[in-house]
Homo-oligomer: A and B are copies of this chain.
């Protein structure tokens, strides 16, 4: 009992040790025959090559902080997973710079599930948000866990899409797990904990510092078989996640967009650099080293359900309308439908809220 408590305290100390790499933690644990409470023996510490801050911390741990960590772990139900534990995520273990320890709220098993990262802009277009959500739902139904960073925008849409499909999702956090960042995602974080996991390498009490986010990003891409970037400006943090994924030998996927849209620039840059261009969720699955289980949660659907309700002529008309406003004359020319038919179909589509009448006798599609 006492030994178990000592082991827990030692694990909390190791998890909080600054500048301790996974390789160093593994060497430490090897040196003590897997008994973490022995790592503080001066003989052990002397024998190993550690960075000065790690040596100093292990030589004289911050007892107050560690006591607070242990209290929070017990109260919250969070777990510490060390890189030497059997349930440390194997994909993450492969990357260079893998974290020595993770704090986890929720399912530790989710971290070992086949994952796809969905990342992107914090202020996406409505279409980008919809795409992230729909793709995430598709991946979840296909049996993939959707991993992201709990940020506003595309990250949140990815988590939500997976949850809505009844799937599993992992959020990698840039702050300690005792605080949800951003705060408005508290309810989302609670759902993620219940249907996946919240994970951080930063000990409880850590603020969401700017420098944390690139570190968080390496865990997002490191946990995942591949990373899909949905919308990203040219200098987006999502491009860091994508670069780290590529460096770790993982697939990078990007969704293209209009050359006039600033939020497509980052994705286009990635495609120019070799990322796979993705038009549908199935494009991702076919590239990944992952096969869809025989009986996925629900049947994967390539299109959002409401699209199926339209009959052919209406679909043709919406296709002809495209994504830029057009006049009835243009639509007649494109569809070969009679102009009276086009006019009445447009009226019905307008009443359904699918099309809007614009100045100059033009009609525009409402996404």
Q: List residues of A whose CB falls within 8 A of some B CB.
A: 123, 125-127, 131, 255-265, 268, 271-272, 276-280, 319-320, 322-326, 333-334, 353, 356, 358-360, 362, 364, 366-367
Contact = CB atoms under 8 A, between A and B. Distances in A.
B324 A260 contact: no
A260 B364 contact: no
B256 A271 contact: yes
Contacts of A268: 256, 277, 279
26 contacts: A125-B323, A125-B326, A126-B324, A126-B326, A127-B258, A127-B323, A127-B324, A131-B259, A256-B258, A256-B259, A256-B264, A257-B258, A258-B258, A258-B323, A259-B279, A260-B323, A261-B322, A261-B323, A262-B319, A262-B322, A265-B279, A272-B276, A323-B323, A325-B367, A356-B358, A359-B366
A325 B255 CA distance: 20
Given A125-B324, A262-B319, A356-B356, 15 more contacts: A125-B323, A131-B259, A255-B259, A256-B259, A256-B271, A256-B277, A258-B258, A261-B322, A261-B323, A271-B271, A323-B323, A325-B366, A356-B358, A356-B364, A362-B366
Contacts of A257: 256-259, 323
A155 to B, nearest CB: 16
A262 B277 CA distance: 15
Contact of A256 (B256, B334, B366): B256
Contacts of A255: 259
Nearest to A123: B334
Nearest to A261: B323
B364 A358 contact: yes
B359 A127 contact: no
A interface, over-half SS: mixed
Contact of A364 (B127, B326, B334, B364): B364
Count chain B CB atoms within 10 A of each CB in A123, A276, A334 and give the residue with the most: A123
A315 to B, nearest CB: 10
Contacts of A364: 356, 358, 364
The residue among A258, A260, A264, A265 with the most chain B CB atoms within 10 A of its own CB is: A258
Contacts of A260: 127, 323, 367
A333 B322 CA distance: 28
A131 B259 CA distance: 9
A293 B191 CA distance: 61
Contacts of A264: 256
Contacts of A353: 359-360
Q: Which one of A323, A325, A333, A356 has the highest number of Cβ atoms from chain B below 10 Å of its Cβ?
A: A323
Contacts of A123: 320, 333-334
Nearest to A321: B125
Which of A277, A333, A366 has the largest number of chain B CB atoms within 10 A?
A277
A351 to B, nearest CB: 10
Which are the 8 A-B pairs with shortest beta-carbon distances? A256-B256, A125-B324, A356-B358, A125-B322, A259-B279, A126-B324, A127-B324, A271-B277
Contacts of A360: 353
A343 B278 CA distance: 36
Nearest to A327: B126
Contacts of A358: 356, 358, 364, 366
A191 B326 CA distance: 28
Contacts of A324: 125-127, 367
